[in-house]
Structure 1
C-alpha cells in the first residue's frame, strides 16, 4: 500500500463512488444557492438534478474556493496519519485555489518536516481533472513513488484535452461571458459556443457552431484530430454534462463507434455544482488523452 495519498478538489467532477473506489481524496469547494451556502460535496448535500432544476427556475448561484485554513485542516488528517500528500488543484486559469493550497503546504512543512507535500496546478477542470486523477491512481497502484508521480504529473498533465459546447447561453450571459446582444442573436441562430481549456488552463471560445447537432459531431472531429494514437486510442474517455444527458450520450455513442480499442465505455458524469454554477444547464464536455496543449 502506498505511503502517500493522492488528492484533488471536488471540481474534478467524478462521483463520490468513483473517488472512493480509486482511493482519491478530495477537498470541497463551496457554493451558494439563493444565498444559502452548501459544500460542493459531489451531490451529497444536494443532488445535481435538484441543483440544475433550481437554476432553471431562476435560483442565483455563487461559488467560493477552498481557503488556506481549510486546506491546512484537510491536509493535517493525512499528515497526522503518517502519509505524504500529492494534491492537484483546479486549474489556476479558472480559480486561485492553488495559491491557498501552496500557502497551506508552506505552513505545514514547518510543522511536519519529515513529510512530503506536493501541490500541483492541474491546469485542468471538471472530468478532465478527473481523468488526470484517475490516471494518477493507476500509477500509484502500479507502485510508483510520490516523487516520480509528481514529476510525471507535471510532465503529462497538458496531454489531457478538454472540449466543451453549450446549447444554453442563459448562464453565460448572466455571468458576463457573453453579452446580452450576442446571447440574443446566438439564441435566435441556435449557436453553440465551442470551447477548450488552453495550455494556461483557461477556458477559451474556439468557435461558434450553429446547431447542437453540428456541435456534437465536432466533438468527434476534435478527438480524431488530437487524441493519442489516432484510431488506435486505448486510454479512457470521460464526458461531463449539466442536465443534458442525452446530448452527452450522443457524443459518447460517436466516440465508442470510432475508437473500438478505448479502455472501456465512455464514462458520463455530471458537471458538479462549482463548475455548473457558471455554465448552467446545457453544457457537454469531452475529455481524452492526446496532443499536449500548446499556445
Structure 2
C-alpha cells in the first residue's frame, strides 16, 4: 500500500491521521526565543494564548534531516510514499522536500517517492491528504492518487477571514493605515488562495456579513455542493466555526463538513479568530 506523508500545516484532525496511518511531520514555530514543534510539544491553543498575551511567533521550515529521515524510512523498505506539502507560495518546505527526495533517490534509486506541492494551506490540503489516504487504503495505484491530487490542486477553493488585521500587518499583507482603520471600523477582510498565495478579495463590516459572504462565494464558485467534503478550520474560535457550518447546512443542505483547529504553522501568521473555508469548485473526477 502507498503511504501518505504530510506536515502539520495541513491541520488534519488527529483521529483521521491515526485512522489512515498518515505520517505527520511537525513544522517549527518560535515563541519568545524558544523553538517548538507544531502539535508535538506545543498545541495550537497554547500558541493563541501566547499571541493574545502579546507574543509575536515566527515559523521555520521542517529541518531537512527530519524530512530525509522520514522519506528514507519508506525508501529502504521498498514502500511507495507521497509527501503532500504546504504551498510553495508561502513556505519553502516543498523545495526542501524535493532536495531531500533527490538525496534519498541517490541512495535508493528504485524507490517510489513523490513530493507534491499542494498550493494550499491548512485544511485545504488536509482535504487532499484525506482523499489521498482513502485512495491508498483502497489500493489505488500511485499514478491514480497523483491524478486525484492534481485535480484537488486545480479545483480547490480556499476562502479566509481574520479577526484582527494586526496579524496580517505583521506579515506584510495590509498597510498600517488599513490595519488601524479596519480595526476602528470593524472591517474584516475576505481573502483567498490563488496560485498558492494568499490575496485580499473583499472587505466587509461585521462577522455575520463576512460569514454570509463566504457562503455566497462558495455557492458562486462551486459547480455542485452535493458530493464533496467541505472543510472549515478556525484559530481557537469554535463558536464561529460552528455558526459557519450551520449556515452552510441551511444554505446548501450539505452536512459533510469537517471542522478542525488551525495549527501553529498557519495560526502564527493569521492570528486568533481566523476562519477558513475549503471546498472543490467541481466534484472529484473518477479516473
TM-score by length of 2: 0.93
CA–CA distance in 1 between the matches of 2:163 and 2:94? 30
Q: Secondary structure at the match of 1:184?
A: helix
**1:167 and 1:190 in contact (8 A); partners too:** no
Q: Secondary structure at the match of 1:229?
A: coil
**1:67 and 1:101 in contact (8 A); partners too:** no
Q: CA deviation at 1:291?
A: 4.4
Q: Which residue of 2 aligns with 1:267?
A: 258
Change (3 A) 1:261 1:285: closer
Question: Structure 1, residues 230-251: CA drift from partner, whole Å, max 9, x if none?
Answer: 4xx2211110011222111111
CA–CA distance in 1 between the matches of 2:227 and 2:146? 23
CA–CA distance in 1 between the matches of 2:204 and 2:143? 43
- My pick for the range that moved more, 103-112 or 221-230, is 221-230
- Alignment match of 1:212 (pick from 167, 191, 207): 207
> Is 1:280 aligned with 2:244?
no
- Alignment match of 1:251 (pick from 244, 248, 251): 244
**1:63 and 1:274 in contact (8 A); partners too:** yes
CA–CA distance in 2 between the matches of 1:259 and 1:217? 12
CA–CA distance in 1 between the matches of 2:166 and 2:152? 35
CA–CA distance in 2 between the matches of 1:153 and 1:15? 19
**1:8 and 1:24 in contact (8 A); partners too:** yes
CA–CA distance in 1 between the matches of 2:282 and 2:227? 14
**2:128 and 2:152 in contact (8 A); partners too:** no
Q: CA deviation at 1:91?
A: 0.5
Q: CA deviation at 1:155?
A: 3.6
Q: Over aligned residue pairs, what C-alpha RMSD do you find?
A: 1.6
Q: CA deviation at 1:211?
A: 1.3
Paired residues, number: 283
Q: CA deviation at 1:146?
A: 1.1
Q: Which residue of 2 aligns with 1:223?
A: 218
Q: CA deviation at 1:170?
A: 2.0
> Is 1:187 aligned with 2:170?
no
Gaps of 5+ in 1: none
TM-score by length of 1: 0.91
Q: Which residue of 1 aligns with 2:59?
A: 63
Q: Secondary structure at the match of 2:265?
A: helix
Q: CA deviation at 1:147?
A: 2.2
> Is 1:172 aligned with 2:163?
no
**2:16 and 2:130 in contact (8 A); partners too:** no
CA–CA distance in 2 between the matches of 1:225 and 1:258? 12
Q: Which residue of 2 aligns with 1:102?
A: 98
CA–CA distance in 2 between the matches of 1:92 and 1:187? 30
> Is 1:239 aligned with 2:204?
no
Runs of 4+ in 1 over 4 A off after TM superposition: none
CA–CA distance in 2 between the matches of 1:139 and 1:7? 14
**1:67 and 1:97 in contact (8 A); partners too:** no
Q: Secondary structure at the match of 1:148?
A: helix
Q: CA deviation at 1:261?
A: 4.5
CA–CA distance in 2 between the matches of 1:69 and 1:48? 24
Change (3 A) 1:256 1:62: same
Alignment of 1:66-215 (within 5 A): 66-198=62-194, 200-215=195-210
Change (3 A) 1:212 1:261: closer
Q: CA deviation at 1:160?
A: 1.5
